[in-house]
């Protein structure tokens, strides 16, 4: 009888070990809506986590919802229709200063890969004086660094050029192709396609803003505090996806080309650029110095009351640290 009890106990221990190694077996899958502001190469690791099963491994029934821009993503977060959303730090900072409890927890696009692409007659920054330039908004998202880059080249808005809100990245390319706008910021690899079509590279964001956090996965702080274990499961899925992207070059390029509908050569150049320049961080960290760049710009614009805040006001990486500890212990 004692031997039987020992055998049963041993089987229970083995079962517990198996279930802890595969959370999706030991936990009921939890519906987990995620908002993405665009479906572009930069967001590729999020689609990897979803479509390659890394969220499912953590017991999450994730659904990535394309919301097309930061403003609707922020609105969805506030409304609770998504738990996590990809947002630009400038938008997070703006709404946080107005009392909304958003906080960035995971890095996604930790740098700038945009080139300012000009039409056939626009080759230099000076050519943009008096021109109409396309953006995804008039103030936030990729338009925020665009205005900083143009300002550094002596072009002030609205004195020297006109901005129009065209829409997403594909819309910007279409508007540039039709001649509706003179120039537009296009991220890798769409800028490659534009260059191949005969458009001109006027300049690169990174030449002016080498350290910049473009987007981060963001949550409501109150929701995160009430759902900490659930959020950590999500973060672990993102970390595993980032590591897979770095560690499986050919498979990652193939996935990104098919999922993002890219030419294989463009997906390859994009993967090489994003990994070599650490636009994606292997462990999904946030580029805190990149966030500090935005704090500095906001301070120069006089948008803070009193002393400028620390970037830590808008970031909470405790969820990432705990996720990394749990992953390293297995």
For 98-130, the pLDDT digits (tens) are 999 999 999 999 999 999 999 999 999 999 999
Say if residue 54's pLDDT is above 60: yes
308 bridge partner residues: none
Q: Give residue 25's pLDDT.
A: 44
Q: Give residue 5's pLDDT.
A: 42
Q: Give residue 27's pLDDT.
A: 52
Q: Give residue 108's pLDDT.
A: 97
d(CA 248, CA 250): 6
Query: 13-17, 99-103, 182-186, 239-243: lowest mean pLDDT where?
Result: 13-17
Say if residue 24's pLDDT is above 80: no
Alpha helices in the chain (DSSP H): 2-21, 23-26, 44-51, 54-57, 70-79, 89-97, 143-152, 169-178, 190-196, 205-208, 221-226, 228-247, 249-259, 264-276, 288-300, 318-328
CATH top class, domain 28-111+212-328: alpha beta
Among the CATH numbers 3.40.50.2300, 3.40.190.10, 3.40.50.720, 3.20.20.60, which is that of 114-208?
A: 3.40.190.10
Q: Give residue 136's pLDDT.
A: 82
Q: Give residue 167's pLDDT.
A: 80
- Comparing 174 with 16, which gets the higher pLDDT? 174
d(CA 200, CA 94): 33
- Residues whose CB falls within 8 Å of the CB of residue 285, separated by 6 or more in sequence, listed in order: 107, 110, 317, 320
Find the mean pLDDT for residues 20-49. Answer: 82
d(CA 287, CA 276): 15
d(CA 157, CA 148): 10
Same fold, 28-111+212-328 and 114-208: yes
Inter-residue contact 135 to 164 (CB < 8 Å): yes
Find the mean pLDDT for residues 176-193. Answer: 95
| 226: three-class secondary structure by DSSP | helix
pLDDT band at 139 (very low <50, low <70, confident <90, very high): confident
Say if residue 159's pLDDT is above 60: yes
Exposure string (b/e) for 252-289, b if CB count within 10 Å is 16 or more? bbebbbebbebeeebbbbbbebbeeeebbbeebbbbbe
Sequence ranges of the domains in the chain: 28-111+212-328, 114-208
| Two tokens, residue 31 | 């519906």
């Amino acid at each position: 009888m004692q031997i039987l009890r020992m055998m049963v106990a041993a089987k229970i221990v083995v079962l517990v070990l198996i279930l802890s190694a595969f959370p999706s077996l030991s936990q009921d899958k939890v519906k987990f809506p995620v908002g993405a502001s665009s479906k572009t190469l930069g967001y590729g690791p999020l689609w990897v986590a979803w479509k390659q099963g890394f969220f499912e491994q953590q017991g999450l029934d994730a659904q990535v919802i394309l919301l097309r821009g930061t403003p609707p993503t922020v609105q969805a977060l506030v409304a609770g229709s998504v738990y996590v959303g990809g947002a630009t730090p400038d938008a997070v900072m703006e709404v946080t200063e107005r009392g909304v409890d958003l906080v960035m927890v995971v890095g996604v696009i930790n740098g700038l890969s945009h080139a300012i692409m000009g039409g056939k007659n626009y080759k230099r920054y000076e050519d943009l004086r008096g021109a109409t330039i396309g953006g995804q908004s008039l103030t936030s998202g990729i338009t925020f660094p665009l205005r900083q880059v143009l300002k550094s080249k002596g072009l002030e808005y609205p004195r020297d050029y006109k901005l129009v809100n065209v829409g997403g990245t594909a819309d910007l390319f279409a508007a540039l192709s039709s001649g509706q706008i003179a120039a537009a910021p296009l991220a890798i690899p769409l800028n490659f396609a534009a260059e191949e079509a005969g458009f001109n590279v006027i300049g690169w964001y990174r030449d002016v803003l080498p350290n910049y956090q473009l987007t981060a996965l963001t949550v409501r702080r109150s929701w995160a505090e009430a759902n900490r274990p659930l959020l950590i499961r999500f973060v672990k899925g993102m970390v595993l996806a980032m590591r897979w992207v770095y560690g499986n070059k050919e498979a990652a390029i193939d996935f990104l080309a098919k999922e993002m509908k890219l030419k294989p050569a463009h997906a390859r150049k994009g993967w090489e650029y994003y990994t070599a320049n650490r636009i994606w961080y292997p462990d999904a960290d946030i580029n805190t110095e990149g966030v500090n760049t935005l704090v500095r710009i906001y301070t120069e614009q006089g948008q803070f009351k009193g002393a400028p805040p620390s970037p830590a006001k808008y970031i909470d990486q405790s969820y990432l640290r705990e996720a990394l500890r749990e992953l390293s212990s297995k």
